[in-house]
Structure 1
Amino acid sequence: MKLPAHCFLASTLKSLVRLTVLLLVVSSNKTKGAVKLPPNISVPAVLVFGDSIMDTGNNNNNLITSARSNFPPYGQDFKGGIPTGRFCNGKVPSDILVEELGIKEFLPAYLDPNLELNELPTGVCFASGGSGYDPLTSQTATAIPLSGQLDMFKEYIVKLKGHVGEDRTNFILANGLFFVVLGSNDISNTYFLTHLRELQYDVPTYSDFMLNSASNFFEEIYQLGARRIAVVSAPPVGCVPFHRTLSGGIARKCVQKYNDAVLLFNDKLSKKINSLNQKLPNSRIVYFDVYNPLLDVTVNHQKYGYKVGDRGCCGTGNLEVALTCNHLDATCSNVLDYVFWDGFHPSESVYKQLVPPLLQKYIHRFA
């Protein structure tokens, strides 16, 4: 029996409306990527391990840690002015990476109680503020250690398989970009600030200890299916406002011995990555140098349009970070004038200047 023409037309219109709505829902979860991918590269997901530079809120429910930022003035420039647990006035590199790749607007924390299953195929963040390659670093800060972040990743894989099936999961793991951002807390806090490792190791042997832990971790995520792994260098921690104030003298200069320790570790890390690529079949482990670009922004801040490179925007700008950067402190009148948001962390503006060109510089190496 043939449908009358008007019924057929109505049915067709309903189908078109449903299709349009579906396309709008799908497209609304994506953003327009700015990074130009090589023709043979697609990036379905970003998965992040790391510390407070990358944490998008995993520490929020960890009430025993001082490494939290889910309160004002953190997040003052985030969407809706909401403090989300990001150690910044706005977005952190995790968010900027997925945005630049055209995947989505923000990278959710894996431990976010509101995390939805449909977020899993495009990636999540396992990073925890205060963590490091050295297990003692995470223990001291009561942060989620690398072993804990690895456990979350294993749990993520099980959930992903349940959601999209084994074949799609394997594709996401093999083609997704994994970012590992650690090392600054080990050198600045565990070694120099608290001296917890200084009696046990000199700087060269401590960097070897860190390197061994890092290398084991890269191999572990490789065994779980990761193939494209971006390992970000440790930053120039001697130039953050906190350490300038405590150890930079009256002039609050960059603390060179801290930066020298970072450079030694970064050099070893870069060489280790080269050997791992030879050892692990089909691996694309890429060393991202963030040390030199961030040092240049800090030291030559006026060249980049900033007025202040040695103090943060929060409070006095000399020391405040995490719990000491709170609503009781005044913030600067214009955060865009500042390289640093607080005593440790760069502002969103700096991340937006550094992350896209870094990603564009190294993306072809994942082919």
Structure 2
Amino acid sequence: MQQVFVDILLKVVLILFLGNRAQANGTIPAVFAFGDSILDTGNNNNLNTVTKCNFPPYGRDFPGGIPTGRFCNGKVPSDLIAAGLHIKETLPAYLDPNLKNEDLPTGVGFASGGSGNDNLTANIQGVLTLSEQLRLFKEYIGKLKESVGEDKANGILSNSLYLLSAGNNDIAISYSVTERRTQYDFPSYAALLVGWTSDFLKALYGLGARRIAVLSTLPLGCLPGARSIGGFLRPCIELVNQEAQLFNSKLSSELDSIKNSIPDFKLIFVDVYTSLLDIIQNPEKSGFTNVANGCCGTGTFEIGVYCNQFSLFTCASASSYVFWDSGHPTQKAYEIIVSNILQKYNISSF
């Protein structure tokens, strides 16, 4: 009799816990992330690519000080958004060999550092294109249905939050160093990128997604790697920022168009560009002292975006730096940006 009472009590506690959890984040049971290194939580670790960071000093401020393949000193926006919605503290990478079945119902990440809307962007680096990420998502859906049943799986898919960050590498890499610059003027290339984004979003819709937050690019001309082009004074490169702004404007307009044509498709354009630029232009508000260099690798002396085991310089405290390496913000900068996202866009219930 006593054991029956204990079993009933445990069930009641579990129901109350799950109910409070669901109430805290609206109706969002899971988070899924697609795109580039802003959201990648380790999918590149076992790919045949140099675009990876599963080694120190990356992950220096991640729980346990572990380099997990996140392009940061700690957590990235996909983790912080999942935690902010009270879903889970970190979002596992789908290709993580240690991924467990119990991780599936609350979401995983498919994003791949170095990827973009243009397949060329991913292919020249040997990382996952958006098409390949979509293929893995289809594979995931099959596993989810096997794990929880088709009805529950469909409910998870339709009520979850999907994140997409793509465009940064298309502009910063493909349009800068490949034949794309000679093939297209930038407005034409931006239109192509937005068209590919639109196709990807509609493909996700076809697989059950109904709620997607699409991140703008960063202010790419203000990244430490871009500033290196400007010489000793290291100013932001305004032409690159203008290209990013044009792409973001076209992307925002396309999302409005899709929403008008597909009424039950909830899409929001998340303006990361302005949030990060505000931090860069007003660093004292958030306690930053360095906006032009990366904590790990200054962007002045090193070749490439990523720091490595032989980095010439790694700062003592990343919390005073806006950027971790030559192309990615620190966890502290991401925390500020994500806090703004969760409040401004009411992510928990949009």
Q: TM-score, normalised by structure 1?
A: 0.89
The reply to whether residue 244 of structure 1 matches residue 244 of structure 2 is: no
Gap change, CA 1:271 and 1:14, over 3 Å in 2 = closer
C-alpha displacement at 1:12, in angstroms?
Answer: 4.0
What SS does the corresponding residue of 1:199 show, helix, strand or coil? helix
CA distances 1:130-176 after superposition (whole Å, capped 9, x unpaired): 00001100011111000000001111111111111111111111110
1:26-105 matches, cutoff 5 A: 41-62=26-47, 64-105=48-89
The 8 Å contact of residues 228 and 366 in structure 1, kept in 2 or not, is answered as: no
The aligned residue for residue 258 of structure 1 is 240
1:1-367 matches, cutoff 5 A: 8-9=1-2, 11-12=3-4, 15=7, 19=10, 23=14, 41-62=26-47, 64-192=48-176, 194-245=177-228, 247-318=229-300, 320=302, 325-329=307-311, 330-363=313-346, 367=350
Segments of 5+ residues of structure 2 without an aligned counterpart are none
Query: Which amino acid in structure 2 is aligned with residue 177 of structure 1?
Result: L
C-alpha displacement at 1:248, in angstroms?
Answer: 1.8
Q: What RMSD over aligned residues (CA atoms) do the two structures have, in Å?
A: 2.5
Instruction: Return the alpha-carbon distance in structure 2 between the equivalents of residues 131 and 266 of structure 1.
Output: 17
Query: Which amino acid in structure 1 is aligned with residue 63 of structure 2?
Result: K
The 8 Å contact of residues 117 and 163 in structure 1, kept in 2 or not, is answered as: yes
C-alpha displacement at 1:36, in angstroms?
Answer: 6.6
The 8 Å contact of residues 306 and 326 in structure 2, kept in 1 or not, is answered as: no
Larger radius of gyration: 1
Percentage of pairs with the same residue: 48
Instruction: Return the alpha-carbon distance in structure 2 between the equivalents of residues 200 and 132 of structure 1.
Output: 18
The 8 Å contact of residues 66 and 323 in structure 1, kept in 2 or not, is answered as: no
C-alpha displacement at 1:340, in angstroms?
Answer: 0.3
C-alpha displacement at 1:184, in angstroms?
Answer: 0.5
Query: Which amino acid in structure 1 is aligned with residue 28 of structure 2?
Result: V
Instruction: Return the alpha-carbon distance in structure 1 between the equivalents of residues 119 and 92 of structure 2.
Output: 24
The 8 Å contact of residues 319 and 343 in structure 1, kept in 2 or not, is answered as: no
What SS does the corresponding residue of 2:346 show, helix, strand or coil? helix
Instruction: Return the alpha-carbon distance in structure 1 between the equivalents of residues 65 and 316 of structure 2.
Output: 16
Gap change, CA 1:159 and 1:319, over 3 Å in 2 = farther
Segments of 5+ residues of structure 1 without an aligned counterpart are 1-7
The aligned residue for residue 3 of structure 1 is none
Instruction: Return the alpha-carbon distance in structure 2 between the equivalents of residues 309 and 269 of structure 1.
Output: 27
Instruction: Return the alpha-carbon distance in structure 2 between the equivalents of residues 269 and 366 of structure 1.
Output: 22
CA distances 1:201-245 after superposition (whole Å, capped 9, x unpaired): 001000011011101001100011100011111111110001110
The 8 Å contact of residues 305 and 326 in structure 2, kept in 1 or not, is answered as: no
Query: Which amino acid in structure 2 is aligned with residue 129 of structure 1?
Result: G
C-alpha displacement at 1:328, in angstroms?
Answer: 2.4
Gap change, CA 1:59 and 1:321, over 3 Å in 2 = farther
Gap change, CA 1:346 and 1:364, over 3 Å in 2 = closer
The 8 Å contact of residues 24 and 86 in structure 2, kept in 1 or not, is answered as: no
C-alpha displacement at 1:251, in angstroms?
Answer: 1.4
